[in-house]
Amino acid sequence: MSAVSLTDIVKRFGDFTAVHKMSLDIAEGSFVTLLGPSGCGKTTTLRMIAGLLDPSEGEIAIKGKRVNDVPIHKRNLGLVFQNYALFPHKTVADNVAFGLNYRNVGKDDARKKVAAALDLVQLPDLGGRYPKELSGGQQQRIALARAIVIEPDVLLLDEPLSALDANLREDMRVELKRIQQRIGVTTVFVTHDQTEALAMSDQIIVMSKGRVEQVGAPEEVYNTPASEFVAQFLGASNLLSAQCTGVSDGEISVEVSGFPKLSIPRERAPKITSAGPVRLVIRAEKLHLRPAGSSVDNGLSVDATVENVDYQGQSARYFLRAGEHQMQAVNMIEDHPFATGEKVSLRLRNRDCAALPAVSES
């Protein structure tokens, strides 16, 4: 049985359709991320699961039970929002215990559950403090403790890390995943941050304009994108116009102007079934720069010129011109970065490429 099932869900706001015929099954105990840019419908979807919004069409089920007409307080869900929504006039312990007060839990049991929840988020001694006395990271942990203390069927997280600074976000990303794995609660996480989605998820649902673009494990959606949108949104990709010249059981043959002939593994081009125009996808970090004229030890080589450099400390993002193609590569820096105007050799491997059907302009 799925923990959450969405069947042909539609959400309209007047004439605007925010979510289009979305169907989805979320496995029990999994960590699933709704990923996409602002306005793609991910938060709207989460709010429909929570019961904060009613779907215009379709059916929502939690643990096999239809909940379209079940109010939020009867769905046994844990919720954590971007602003944490802690009660400023209540102590940390009272904030965490809030949901237990509506579940007929005795005072002694409630006290034990609150203590266990605070221990789980590694803040066991802060029960007597007030939210204003806590850092942003501590407030985030308290909001999480309040959500999990009720032992929810599903934990819903709406961009809970977005208000934190970069270093704290990384720490809390690890911590949040640790807690989820320890208690085994089914979790639906909303974010626009691809790094969070890739690092934390068992499954990623990539959304655009209210529609699901791709559903899959992080490695699958990253290495074998189902559309140009996924390829461009999830990481930095080079998308080049190309021609498929042959399809076999194990590989497809692809020709790109100025490139050696490519033989792409079939699993990296599942939608290509016949010869014709395609789009070649090469992740920026899969292109390895070497000084021009250096020997090719393995893989393929393409001559290019560095047009711009985005220095990032341990790595650099290079903007390149390879014949008629503008490309980008992200490489670790060994001694010093390549300079603007420098001639380089781009190295790539067949297995690092993917292919998509060419989208018609009409």
- Model confidence pLDDT, tens digit, residues 216-246: 999 999 999 999 999 999 988 999 999 999 9
CB 169 within 8 A of CB 199: no
pLDDT at 315 over 90: yes
186 closest CA partner among 206, 166, 164, 201: 201
- Cβ burial 109-145 (10 Å sphere, 16+ → b, else e): ebeebbeebbebbebeebbeebbeebeebbbbbbbbb
Q: To 10 degrees, what angle do helices 136-148 and 166-183 make? A: 20
| Amino acid letter for position 359 | V
Query: What's the rounded Cα separation, in Å, for the pair 110 and 265?
Result: 56
Q: Give residue-wise pLDDT tens across range 166-224.
A: 888 888 899 899 999 999 999 999 999 999 999 999 999 999 999 999 999 999 999 99
Residue 52, pLDDT score? 95
Non-local (6+) Cβ contacts of 301 within 8 A are 260, 345, 346, 347
Q: What is the mean pLDDT of the chain?
A: 93
Helix axes 136-148, 107-120, angle to 10 degrees: 130
Question: 22 near 38, Cβ under 8 Å?
Answer: no
Q: Which domains does the chain have, with CATH numbers?
A: 4-223 (3.40.50.300), 236-357 (2.40.50.140)
- Is residue 295 predicted with pLDDT exceeding 80? no
Q: How far does the chain reach from its first CA to its final CA, in angstroms?
A: 43
Rounded Cα gap, residues 183 and 349, in angstroms: 41
- Give residue 362's pLDDT: 37
User: What is the side-by-side strand order in the sheet with 154-158?
Assistant: 77-80, 154-158, 186-191, 31-35, 203-208, 211-216
Helix, strand or coil for residue 125? coil
Q: Is 28 left (phi over 0), alpha (psi -120 to 50) or beta?
A: beta
Q: Looking at residue 360, what is its pLDDT? A: 61
pLDDT of residue 87 exceeding 50, the answer is yes
User: Is residue 8's pLDDT more than 60?
Assistant: yes
Q: Rounded to the nearest 5°, which phi and psi values hold at 34?
A: -90, 115
Q: What is the pLDDT of residue 81?
A: 87
The percentage of the chain sitting over the pLDDT mark of 70, rounded to a whole number, equals 98
Report pLDDT digits (tens) over 122-166: 999 999 999 999 998 899 899 999 999 999 999 999 998 887 888
pLDDT of residue 167: 83
Q: What stretch of H or E contains 327?
A: strand 325-332
pTM of the model: 0.91
Contacts of 354 (CB under 8 A, 6+ apart): 223, 224, 225, 231, 264, 268, 269, 280, 281, 282
- pLDDT grade, residue 344 (50/70/90)? very high
